[in-house]
Amino acid sequence: MKILVTGGGTGGHIYPALAYVEYVKKQNPTAEFMYVGAKRGLENKILPKTGIPFKTLEIQGFKRSLSLDNLKTIQLFLKSVKEAKKIVKEFAPDVVIGTGGYASGAVVYAATKLKVPTIIHEQNSVPGVTNKFLSRYVSKIAVAFSDAKQFFPKEKTVLVGNPRATEVASVAASDVLTQYGLQPNRPTVLIFGGSQGAYRLNQAMLEALPQFAGKAYQVLYASGDRYYQEIQESSKIDWEQLTNVRVEPYIDKMAEVMINCQLLVGRAGATSIAEFTALGLPAILIPSPHVTNDQQTKNAQSLVKVGAVKMLTDAELTGSLLVATIDEIMTDESTLQKMAQASKNEGIPDAAQRLHELVETVIK
């Protein structure tokens, strides 16, 4: 079996693709892969470390305002489609899977013109421009949220989940919290704003940290490198009183830590949601207001309506509100359990398997 995977620009497009590749490698060690991304995408830092054959296309997105750059975008797209056709012909895949991003648009479109079976995977509850464009051409459409089905042709859209969930679901509980100076059997709240941190969340945490003193639960906060020093040097925080709180610039074993916590606080990216719902973990989500089409808010709202999460907006976030919302959940076992069950109901831990089953249907 030969599979060409394409997608990039952000980790939200790349990590689901790599999770799927790892799943197939375990099931079928003879399977061959190629990954195609953009020359300036995050994939250029990630893919070389994986050992997967990797090629890039020069491509860019459209500007939202009238701009001469959009003429260049069209030229680059047409050029990339031509280059993508050469790549597809040379590799001769059984199927091409696109996970989003502009390079994905060119490669999947080229594959459809060559009559190669194609699948796109949409991670968010509201699709991006690329997948909307491709939906009319591809063989099948895989979605991670039920809410996303309404935007695609019903007859070829299938709910599969996000393959990243499969990786996380295989992680076992452990005493990993002791590595951060916390108690392994104490209720724990994990707070993080992504690998770089989040300004508004960090400002709220500067206010919130002293308020966690004496709580029955403990807190692990991943601040991001850019905010770590500010927190360590804050005159408002008496670290001797905060024996139940640890702040780290970055958490290396995020999935392992997550499975040992009772509540997550963070952004509402598609990958993060796939991870915590696969574990049945309740969450307080603070969607980033800087994401295209406000996708994070829509992702969070999909889980709010089923009772799996509580949502706070970036604009309203304060330390006091954050602590009060955490207390509301962590001090009420019934609320915590109901949210956990709702999260588990939304999780799709066998997402990679579901996606592969869809792959097998289009190449038969």
Binding-site residues for UDP-N-acetyl-alpha-D-glucosamine sit at 10-12, 124, 195, 251, 296
Helices H / strands E in the chain, number of each? 14, 13
Percent helix, strand, coil in the chain, to 5, is 50, 15, 35
Strands in 218-222's sheet, in edge-to-edge order, are 245-248, 218-222, 188-192, 263-266, 283-285, 309-311
What are the tokens at 363?
């190449």
CA distances from 251 to 100, 179, 186, 341 (A): 27, 11, 19, 26
Residue whose C-alpha is closest to residue 54's, from 96, 99, 6, 94? 6
CA distances from 133 to 66, 102, 129, 138, 187 (A): 20, 11, 6, 10, 45
The residues, ordered by sequence, that sit 6+ positions from 71 with a Cβ below 8 Å of its Cβ are none
Known binding positions:
10-12, 124, 195, 251, 296
Cα 319 to the chain's mean position, in Å?
A: 25
Task: Write out the E strands in 183-300.
Answer: 188-192, 218-222, 245-248, 263-266, 283-285
User: Is residue 193 helix, strand or coil?
Assistant: coil
Residue 166 is inside which H or E element, if any?
Answer: helix 164-169
User: Is residue 324 helix, strand or coil?
Assistant: helix
Partners of 95 in beta bridges: 3
Distance CA 144, CA 117 (A): 20
Cα angle: 267, vertex 124, 70; to 5 degrees: 100
Whether the CB-CB separation of 79 and 58 falls below 8 Å is answered with yes
What are the tokens at 38?
């953009």
